[in-house]
Structure formats: structure tokens, C-alpha cells
Structure 1
Amino acid sequence: MHARVPAPPPRDTRLDVVRGWLQLTIFFSHAFGSFAGDWLVYGSWGLSDSSEQFVFLSGLVLGSVFARIAARDGVAAATRDMMRRTLRLYRTHLLVFALFGAMVVAAGAVLPGEAQGMGWGFMLRRPLPAAAAALTLLYQPAFMGILPIFIWCMLALPAFDALQRRVGEAALAAPVGLYLLVRMTGLNVPSLGPDTGIAFDPFAWQVVFMLGAWVGRRRLLRGHGLPRHDGVTVAAVLVLAVGLAARLAWAGITPWPHLDPSAWVGKEELVPPRLLHALALAWLVARFVPAEARWMHTAPFRVLAAIGRHSLQVFCVGLFLSWGVTAALRLWPGHAWIDPALIALGSAVMAGVAWRLDGALRRRRAEERRNTPPGPESSLGRPIYPHGTGATR
């Protein structure tokens, strides 16, 4: 007999709204050379960016969903469900890889050297070995290293959940210990692309995902993630203040002792100041942004929430749009109006895609309610994937 199935956490519209905003900032930041990408993303004002938050939120939701399926249907069923989700994300990554590569290669007609500059030269020189390397997720041209980190973390989630069931909160020692090992030894997976690296060291970045999974499981079983603590809140504010001061100094806006930016914001290896900044920001959002509020149901935030509910699809569309904006800014550098116009157009396209998907989701759920007899719930829904990518919750 299975243990009592925990009730699902209360609806948290904040998650959808935050994920929607994160998707827009990802689009902005990938549009290299744009004003929005340089100044309107919070990564320009601190040590971390939207990547950490998406990995954390993906872990939070998937950790909760895995634990609930395990309680309802057993660990084997939860593991099968997670493997299905991982396989779907893997297929999506390969499709995006193929389409994005084709687009970049075709762009060589107007942007000579674009494919080589973005790491696709290996595919052009040796297509069969490059394709095989892509299947392993270890060949990562520009923008192609984002989804693999979610795939690797999702594959590891069942083992982490099993460890939590066995030793409780002491299970956190495993991901934290692995992260510390990375810091001491430089542990990373090898890149199979001669002209590329690994965008996110999985041995380092797993700590963000697993911390999220730990909070999500705790939230499911206890009704709350972490207790409020004013001391932690004050420390988090100080961390964000230091991050802002460092950014302003690097921009030459304020005086500050010379600091090596790579030691503070190194993204591939997730340096400690960056990790601390990301966790501080997550804490403050959870502390001060309510889970539900009337303003979240006004038109702009309903659009953001729709984007957040369909993060994976919107993220994939945004990759192509952001490259298009970057290419346009390079082709027509003297036309200042192109930047805001294309950023606005790209944002509108992403919102339109999400709104259309949201309408289809509402119709499907309404049909399911009409066809499902009263009784125990028949499904848990689909959680976000990540940069997390994500479908719906």
C-alpha cells in the first residue's frame, strides 16, 4: 500500500509570471548588441542572470511532481514518468539543434563566417562525427548548451529523490559536495566539439537544480518551502547590493577596487559569488512577491503568465528570434530604430505563441473535465522543463 498522497501545493501564479518575465529577459540577453539585452535584463545589474532562476524553478516543480507521483503510484512509475519527460526534452533539443544549425549555415550567404563563428564549423567539416557528437549532448555550438543542462539534471533527479527518502535533508550533502569538488578540481565533462566548449558544467550546475528539487519536495510534503528568517533576508539584500556595486564599477560608473569579473560572474563553472547571488535573488522573490495577487490577473501579467506556462516552446522560438535581431543589428548598424522595433516584434511573437498555446491548453482541459467522471484526480499535469524550458504545470 502506498503512503498517503500529498495534496498538490496551492496554485502559485507567481511562478508563471516570473517564468514569463525570465523568458523575455532570455530573449533580450541573446539579442546581442541590443539596448534591452545590455540594460534591461537584471543580469546586467548583478552577478547572476535568468539561467540560474530557470534551473532552480525547474528543479522545484519537477522535484515536487516526482515526489507526488512516487507517493501516488510508486517510485518506479515516477521514474518512468521522469524518463518520458527527459526523452521529450531530448527530442526537442535535437530538433532545435538541426533547425538552428540549418539557419546559421544558410545565413552565411549574407553573413560570411557566421557558422564558423558560432561553433558550427565542425558540422560543416565533418558532418557525421559532428552529428554523433550532437547526440551525446557534448557538441554545443552557440545557444545549443542550454537544454542539455536540464536533460542531465532530470536524469539525475530519481537518484536524488531516492537519497532524500533514505537520509532526509542530509541528501543535500551530495549535490553540495559535488559542487565543492568542482570548485577544488575543475571537474567538467569533455567537449566533443573542437571549436566549442560546454556551456554549463553539469557537475556544478546540478546544485541549483537539486536545491530547487529539495525545496519543491519539502513544499509538497510540509506545505512550505523554507521558513522565513529576517537574518537571511538581510544577508540576501546585502549580496544583491554587492553585486550591483560590482557591476557599476565594471561599467566605470562608480569607483571600486579592481576585481576580476571572471571570478565573480563565471557562468560555465558557476563560481560561488554567482551562485550566492542567484540564491539570494530567489529568496527575496519568494519572500516579497506574493503567490497570488489581483495585479497578476491584469492583462500584461496574464500574458507573462501564459509565456511562463509554455516556457519550453517560447524559449525555442526565442532562440531563433534573438539570433534574427542580432543579425539585423549587424547588417544595418546605422538604423537605431531597428533595435527597439525588433525587440518589440520578437516579444509580441513570443507572447502570441504563448497565448495561442494557452488557449489550446484551456480547451483541452475543459474537454478533459467534461469527459472525466468525478473522483480522484487522473493526472498531475505537466511541469515546467526549463531554461528550464517548460511546458505547463
Structure 2
Amino acid sequence: MDVHAVLPPRGRDYRLDLLRGFANWAIFLDHIPNNAVNWITQKNFGFSDAADLFVFISGYTASFVYARIMLERGFVIGGTRLIKRAWQIYVAHVMLFVIYIAEIGYLSQRYHDPNLQNEFNVAGFMQNPAATLYQGLILAFKPVNMDVLPLYIALMVVYPLVLWMMLRRLNTTLLLSFLLYLAARHFGWNLPAYPGGTWYFNPFCWQFLFVFGGWFALGGAGESISFIRSRTFLMLGAAYLLFALVMTLAGRIPELGHAMPAGLYDAFNPNDKTNLAPYRVLHFVVLAFFVTRFLPKDWAGLQWPVFRPMIKCGQQSLEVFCSGVFLAVIAHLVLVEVSDSIWMQIVVSAIGIALMTALAYYRSWSKKVDKAPAKASPSPAPAE
């Protein structure tokens, strides 16, 4: 194989675990409506948010893991391992889908709140369960807050071919991905959703962040390191992050928004998340380059105890993400039915993160137990 990519060194990169854990926590907090605690998440301070980070790291990890398999064992084995992972994510999505609908249906009846079904987009299932279930299985129907995993599945299914191309023509593949992104935005390409509309995360646009993560993992960051470390990038990148901060706060603080020129304000508000606005892509690229510059892989802080829960959640990302979607519904119901005070918002947020972290530690322990060699049985005593 004529390889033109540079594989990362073997061994776990705890930066990825830390950032993925942060993304899972932030997604959980952002999924709780009217929750003041989600002001600590990145969506309030720039154009990109935890979803961008999740998709980027997923592309980085897929390339980091399966490119090596593809090189060492061949395209077929590497590609089928990718498809196997996509299947595992699909199974997790289907299980979450069923539990999620059952959860909302039960809670809406238990608290006599039929609006809960409309709020989380599951009322159609209650009216026509057979058709809606079928559409859910083919990823066309998605309740509220369940859009990320279908995007992840779709991208993983086509990624074997993309990864094969990246190993041969790294920069060309990224360029083709970017052209597809531009074409999708220009021509309005998207996948249909059920019962109407299109996918909330347009896969033809969001694929660029996934591929960008792969490009980053396979040597793209190394090729750009001189620019990343340059004074020019430092100044221009910092200026853009500051601009993004001001424009994002303008969209959340009416007094600041009214002080902005209307044309400037309207260009960035509302933030186009569905089709991944170019200013959103640029914001995330700058953040990724800044992390590369200021957070080295051997940073001693990655061993600090304070970061261990977040790193553990990043290492058990799929289970933690799914539990976060489930817990966000319960947290929202508590705020609606019990109290929406600031203290209750803090309590439900903290309990949710604690439960997600406990699950991560349990899954980590469980996997170690499964992999541990069985103890040797004592030899039977010789017959007299």
C-alpha cells in the first residue's frame, strides 16, 4: 500500500478522553432546557459546541484505531471492523430509542402531562407505533436529543472507503470532503426525516468535521505544526475566538444584541447548526489548533485526580452518552414538576453527572474483569 499518512504513536492519548468526557457532560447539560448550569458549556462562548467536539473526536478515534488495522491486516479486515463498530453503535441507538420512548410515554402518563410527548417529538409514535418504529429503525425518525448517534452511524458506515483514500491521499481526501460540504450547503442536500423535514445534523455537511478529525489524526496536525505555533496564528486565532465570544453572547443577552449593527448580528444569529455554518467550522478549527499548541500529549495535568472522572467518562463514551440522554429527560421533568429553582438546577445537573461517572467507572471495572485471566483450578488430589 502506498501510504502517505503518518499514524499517531501507539498508546492512549488522554487528551482525547478528557475532551470526549467533557463533550458528554456538556451534551447532557445542554439537553436540559432552562438549566442555568449549561452556561458553563462551550456553546455559550463561541460558534461551535460539544456536538462539534464529539464528531471531531469520533473521526479522530476512528482513524487512529482502524487505520493501523487497515495497514497491518488489510483493507477488508479494517473496513469490516469499522462496519462492526457502526453496528454496535446502531444496536445501542435502537436500545436507547426504545427505552427513551418508553420513558417519555410513562412519565407523561404518570404526571398527566401529554405535552411531554410533543416536547420530545414522540407523540407520533403513540399514534402510529408500527410506522414510527420502522422509521426509527432506518434512522429517519429521531426523538428530540437523539440526533447525534444516527449521524455517527451514517458516517461510520461510509468511512472505510474514506479512510482507504486518506491513507493514500490525505490532503486530497480532506479537500474532497470540503467540496462536498460546500456543495451540500449550496444545493441544500440533506436526508429526509420522518414524518417531515430533514436531519437536524445534515450528514453531508457534518461529514467534514468527521473527516477533519481523521486528517488531524493521520498527520494533518503535524504538517501544520509550524503554522499552529506561529505568532500570526496566535494573534489571528485569538482575535477570532474573541469575536465569536462577543457574537454568541449577543445572541443570548438581548441588551448586547440590540447594541450590535443589525446586519452583523443577523449574519451569526441564529447559529446555523444543521448545515454547519462556515463560521462555526472555522471556530472549531481554531480551537483544535489551539489545543494542539497549548495542550501537549505529555501534559502532567492529565494525571491530576480532578480530571480522572472526566477522562473515565471519555473512555466509556458510548455508554455515558446514552445514559446522559436518558437522564436529561428525568432532570427536565424534575425541574418542571418539582422545582425549577437555581439550586434544583444545580442538584439535578450534579446528580446526572455523578451517575454518568459512576456508570463509566463500573463499565471500566467490568471490562477489566471480563479480560482478566481465570484463576487456575486446584489440581485434584491423587486417588489413594
AA matched with 2:243:
V
Q: How many angstroms apart in 1 are the aligned matches of 2:36 and 2:348?
A: 11
Deviation at 1:260, TM superposition (A): 2.0
Q: How is 1:212-361 mapped onto 2 (pairs within 5 angstroms)?
A: 212-218=213-219, 224=222, 226-229=224-227, 230=230, 231-250=232-251, 251-252=253-254, 254=256, 255-258=259-262, 259-260=265-266, 265-333=271-339, 335-361=341-367
Give the whole-Å Cα distance in 2 for the aligned partners of 1:365 and 1:226. Answer: 39
Say whether the 8 Å CA contact 1:215–1:225 is kept in structure 2. Answer: no
What is the TM-score with the length of structure 2 in the denominator?
0.88
C-alpha distance in 2 between matches for 1:357 and 1:206: 29
Name the amino acid aligned to 2:152: F
Residues 328 and 151 of structure 1: CA distance in aligned 2, closer, same or farther (over 3 Å): same
Moved more, 88-97 or 209-218: 209-218
Find runs of 4+ consecutive structure 1 residues off by over 3 angstroms: 5-11, 165-168, 223-226, 252-255, 261-264, 333-336, 361-368
Deviates more, 1:257-266 or 1:63-72: 257-266
| 1:126-275 equivalent positions in 2, closer than 5 A | 126-194=128-196, 197-218=198-219, 224=222, 226-229=224-227, 230=230, 231-250=232-251, 251-252=253-254, 254=256, 255-258=259-262, 259-260=265-266, 265-275=271-281
Q: How far apart, CA to CA, are the structure 1 residues paired with 2:168 and 2:349?
A: 49
Which stretches in structure 2 are left out of the alignment for 5+ residues?
377-384
Paired amino acid for 2:101: G
Task: Name the Cα RMSD after superposition.
Answer: 2.5
Cα shift at 1:248: 2.5
User: 2:49 aligned with 1:49, yes or no?
Assistant: yes
Rounded to whole Å, the distance in 2 between the matches of 1:2 and 1:74 is 13
Larger Cα-atom Rg? 2
How many pairs were matched up?
A: 365
Q: Deviations over 1:274-331 (max 9, x none)?
A: 1111121121112111213332222221111111100110011111111111111111
Indicate how the Cα distance of structure 1 residues 141 and 334 shifts in structure 2: closer, same or farther if over 3 A, else same. closer
**AA at the equivalent of 1:317:** S
Identity of aligned residues (%): 27
Q: How far is 1:91 from its partner?
A: 0.6
Question: Using the alignment, how far apart are the partners of 2:307 and 2:170 within structure 1?
Answer: 37
Counterpart code for 2:18: V
Once the two structures are superposed, residues 55-97 of structure 1 have per-residue CA deviations (whole angstroms, 9 ceiling, x without a partner) of 0111011112221111110000001101100101011101100
Distance (Å, rounded) in 2 between the aligned partners of 1:165 and 1:302: 33
Contact kept? 1:62, 1:216, Cα under 8 Å? no
Preserved contact between residue 14 and residue 292 of structure 1 (Cα < 8 Å)? no
TM-score by length of 1: 0.86
2:55–2:209 contact (8 Å) kept in structure 1: yes
Ranges in structure 1 where 5+ consecutive residues have no aligned partner: 372-393
Change (3 A) 1:134 1:226: same
